[in-house]
Amino acid sequence: MDPDIRKKINNTVRNFVLSENFWDMLDTIIKFLEPMVIALKLFESDTSTLSTVYFHFKKLMHRVSEISCNFSNNIQQLVQKRSMFLEESKNTDIEATGYREFTEFTSKRFGQEESVIMFTELVKFRQKNSPYDNKTIWLSSTNLSPSVWWQSWPNSSLQQLAIKILSIPTSSAAAERNFSTFGFIHNKIRNRLQNERVKKLVYIYGNLQLYEKGLKRKLIHDQRNDNNNNDINNNNNTGYSG
């Protein structure tokens, strides 16, 4: 450490920085936070939907359970509590409430006759009765996202409703980013823009960002291909000269 910096640093801070235990503890904390940050980024992305939450949360639980330290049990219990919140749908009271709300929603949205048909389908689905008794399709549910899995039931009256529900975004982060773009375009200087002009400018700005991201990915991909080709050529030349 630089002598001048050493003099300015508080003794307590210096002891922490020079302590091996501190860095070991920091490394452990990073191991806990890293999978959580990855999960949060996924849930706040533009493409994240409700159907992906359960899978990624299970993956997060698995990653956290593999970490061992003095306080790992406390962290794992906190994560487990959130998991239990997801599992509460197995509770009979919540299930009964879900059935009631389902019938109320479908009656208002689709009418009584179609609501009866959809409720009957829902009961059959929950009990895995025909046509929901295909074991192969049920086994495939562990490897497919729920929204994709529901496409296996083209004759089900629940299919379109289930796909729409499972395709709902997991958070409002994407909308908040969109509002931020609106704020950037329609600011104090450009405050006389009409609504339609603002929408067009936001559309252009958003697509330019997507285009630039695509170009960056393409450049990285091309660079990797060039590096791989160079490595192959070098290996071939080395083999030939040998």
Tens digit of each residue's pLDDT (9 = 90 or more) over 111-124: 777 778 888 888 88
Q: Is the per-residue pLDDT at 176 higher than 60?
A: yes
pLDDT band at residue 10, thresholds of 50, 70 and 90? Answer: confident
Which residue from 186, 184, 181 is spatially nearest to 210, judged by alpha carbons?
Answer: 181
**Mean pLDDT, rounded, for 1-16:** 71
Residue with the bigger pLDDT between 1 and 178: it is 178
Residue with the bigger pLDDT between 93 and 173: it is 173
Strand partners, 97: none
Q: State residue 111's pLDDT score.
A: 72
**Mean pLDDT, rounded, for 70-96:** 70
Quote helix, strand, coil % in the chain, to nearest 5: 80, 0, 20
CB 76 within 8 A of CB 63: no
Q: State residue 46's pLDDT score.
A: 73
Domain boundaries, the chain: 3-88, 91-166, 173-241
Q: Is the per-residue pLDDT at 232 higher than 70?
A: no
**Mean pLDDT, rounded, for 145-151:** 80
- The DSSP H or E segment spanning 237 is helix 195-241
Q: Is the pTM of this model over 0.75?
A: no
Q: Which long-range contacts (CB under 8 A, 24 or more apart) does 105-113 make?
A: 106/161
Q: State residue 90's pLDDT score.
A: 52
Separation of alpha carbons 120 and 131, rounded Å = 12
